[in-house]
């Protein structure tokens, strides 16, 4: 069998790996979203496809596979609906911004016609490959993918977290792997103590609620917005939710087994205010001191409407809870107090803070995952220092490791 590393090599984003023996099996087919415009993976033909989870850097290229073939595409049940939400939104943005898209609507429909839901820990066969999805603990429906073929075991982590969150359990792992294809997002960094981050966030939100001003939390739609709802549970009657954050939460709620505590989410959803239109938006600003809205890095979405409305109020706060890439409007705002968008820029008088509520394993968590899977060899991908991480794995764990270059093939 051969493994070809197509995307996500020495970079965060655009993950894609192709296995080939008698037939071909693709694992993820994502885009690199930032900086704009999105960069799609090269056109590749595959017999079958497995998706690790519904984030665009893993699934954003999927319709392109249907330009050259009609592979069957497997993923967890909640991912089938979340992928549709993400793709519809990314196509709307591409249309608005005039970004080139290397597929047509008919290819999107072909993808939807060929999507199949698979459960965790249920072995299924695709040609000569025996496959099992393991809970990756990253977002609802996220999966590490175990593939068994030609007497070799390959485990592809997707994005993975070995610490439980309010929303999902920590990852489950197979043992004694031949090749571990490992995400390396936080290979150089540890996360701060989670509980303390949550306490700090709650304290700032409490200040805002007491002063009856506004706490705007720009969030990523899938995973983070629901996690923030759990963390701010005691304020539920004071929360309004908007944009894709609302839609993603509704989908996740419909797939009750995709999260740890469905009853808890239902109780929260019964009390928060969901925003559907501009009238609701005005109403929320007057009556709800906590606003949770996409987009997480302020590239767009209703979060921009709220930011503009609260910008002159020094008692209001903008509280980021996700990763902010260097050239994002969110990072600029955090560093300089000035919002610089596509259309306009202005100073923001609110306090701006960022909290680390990451759903990726930190540095020591990644090493823990490697020890537990006990691989013969590790391929480090999806990170900004994959080579450094591979060297560290060799020196500290004594396990052979490498950082593949885009297009590199290995024989196993
Ligand atoms: Zn992810």
Which segment, 8-12, 41-45, 364-368, is predicted with the most confidence on average?
364-368
Q: Is 80 exceeded by the pLDDT of residue 363? A: yes
Q: Distance from the CA of 29 to the center of ligand 1, in angstroms?
A: 13
pTM, entire model: 0.95
Q: Distance from the CA of 316 to the center of ligand 1, in angstroms?
A: 30
Question: What are the backbone angles phi and psi of residue 4, rounded to the nearest 5°?
Answer: -110, 125
Q: Distance from the CA of 322 to the center of ligand 1, in angstroms?
A: 12
Q: Distance from the CA of 52 to the center of ligand 1, in angstroms?
A: 9
Domains assigned to the chain: 2-189+359-411 (3.60.15.10), 194-354 (3.40.50.10890)
Q: Which of 312, 275, 270, 277 is nearest to 290 (CA)?
A: 275
Predicted confidence band of residue 12 (pLDDT cuts 50, 70, 90): confident
pLDDT digits (tens, 9 = 90+) for 142-201: 999 999 999 999 999 999 999 999 999 999 999 999 999 999 999 999 999 999 999 999
Q: How far apart are CA 321 and CA 299, in angstroms?
A: 15
Q: Distance from the CA of 142 to the center of ligand 1, in angstroms?
A: 8
Q: Distance from the CA of 159 to the center of ligand 1, in angstroms?
A: 5
Q: Is 90 exceeded by the pLDDT of residue 58? A: yes
Q: Distance from the CA of 94 to the center of ligand 1, in angstroms?
A: 21
Q: Distance from the CA of 241 to the center of ligand 1, in angstroms?
A: 22
Q: Distance from the CA of 112 to the center of ligand 1, in angstroms?
A: 21
pLDDT digits (tens, 9 = 90+) for 279-328: 999 999 999 999 999 999 999 999 999 999 999 999 999 999 988 988 89
Q: Distance from the CA of 55 to the center of ligand 1, in angstroms?
A: 5
pLDDT digits (tens, 9 = 90+) for 74-96: 999 999 999 999 999 999 989 98
* pLDDT of amino acid 133: 98
Predicted confidence band of residue 33 (pLDDT cuts 50, 70, 90): confident
- Calculate mean pLDDT across residues 102-128: 97
* pLDDT of amino acid 327: 84
Q: Distance from the CA of 54 to the center of ligand 1, in angstroms?
A: 7
Q: Distance from the CA of 76 to the center of ligand 1, in angstroms?
A: 14
- Calculate mean pLDDT across residues 385-393: 97
Q: Distance from the CA of 180 to the center of ligand 1, in angstroms?
A: 18
Q: How far apart are CA 316 and CA 67, in angstroms?
A: 48
Q: Distance from the CA of 87 to the center of ligand 1, in angstroms?
A: 15
Q: Distance from the CA of 13 to the center of ligand 1, in angstroms?
A: 9
Predicted confidence band of residue 21 (pLDDT cuts 50, 70, 90): very high
Q: Distance from the CA of 139 to the center of ligand 1, in angstroms?
A: 7
């Amino acid at each position: 069998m051969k493994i070809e590393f197509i995307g996500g090599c020495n970079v965060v984003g655009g993950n894609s790996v192709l296995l080939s023996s008698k037939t071909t099996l693709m694992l993820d087919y994502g885009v690199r979203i930032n900086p704009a415009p999105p960069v799609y993976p090269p056109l590749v033909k595959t017999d079958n496809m497995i998706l690790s989870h519904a984030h665009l850097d893993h699934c954003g290229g999927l319709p392109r596979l249907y330009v050259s073939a009609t592979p069957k595409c497997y993923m967890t049940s909640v991912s089938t609906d979340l992928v549709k939400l993400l793709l519809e939104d990314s196509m709307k943005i591409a249309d608005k911004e005039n970004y080139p898209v290397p597929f047509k609507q008919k290819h999107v429909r072909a993808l939807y016609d060929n999507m199949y839901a698979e459960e965790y820990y249920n072995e299924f066969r695709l040609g000569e490959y025996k496959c099992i999805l393991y809970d990756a603990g990253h977002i609802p429906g996220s999966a590490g993918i175990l593939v068994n073929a030609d007497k070799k075991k390959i485990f592809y982590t997707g994005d993975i977290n070995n610490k439980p969150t309010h929303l999902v359990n920590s990852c489950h792992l197979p043992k004694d792997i031949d090749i571990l294809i490992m995400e390396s997002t936080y290979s150089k960094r540890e996360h701060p103590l989670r509980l303390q981050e949550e306490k700090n966030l709650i304290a700032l939100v409490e200040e805002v609620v007491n002063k009856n001003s506004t706490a705007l939390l720009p969030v990523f739609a899938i995973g983070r917005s629901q996690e923030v709802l759990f963390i701010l549970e005691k304020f539920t009657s004071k929360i309004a939710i908007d944009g894709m954050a609302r839609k993603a939460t509704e989908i996740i709620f419909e797939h009750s087994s995709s999260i740890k505590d469905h009853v808890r989410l239902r109780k929260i959803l019964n009390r928060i205010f969901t925003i559907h239109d501009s009238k609701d938006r005005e109403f929320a600003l007057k009556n709800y001191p906590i606003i949770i809205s996409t987009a997480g890095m302020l590239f767009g979405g209703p979060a921009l409407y709220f930011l503009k409305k609260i910008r002159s109020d020094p008692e209001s706060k903008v509280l980021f809870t996700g990763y902010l890439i260097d050239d994002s409007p969110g990072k600029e705002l955090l560093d300089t107090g000035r919002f610089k968008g596509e259309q306009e820029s202005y100073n923001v008088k609110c306090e701006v803070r960022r909290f680390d509520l990451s759903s990726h394993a930190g540095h020591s968590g990644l090493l823990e995952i490697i020890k537990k899977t006990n691989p013969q060899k590790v391929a480090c991908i999806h990170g900004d220092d994959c080579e450094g991480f591979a060297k560290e794995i060799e020196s500290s764990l004594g396990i052979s490791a490498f950082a593949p270059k885009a297009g590199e093939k290995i024989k196993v």
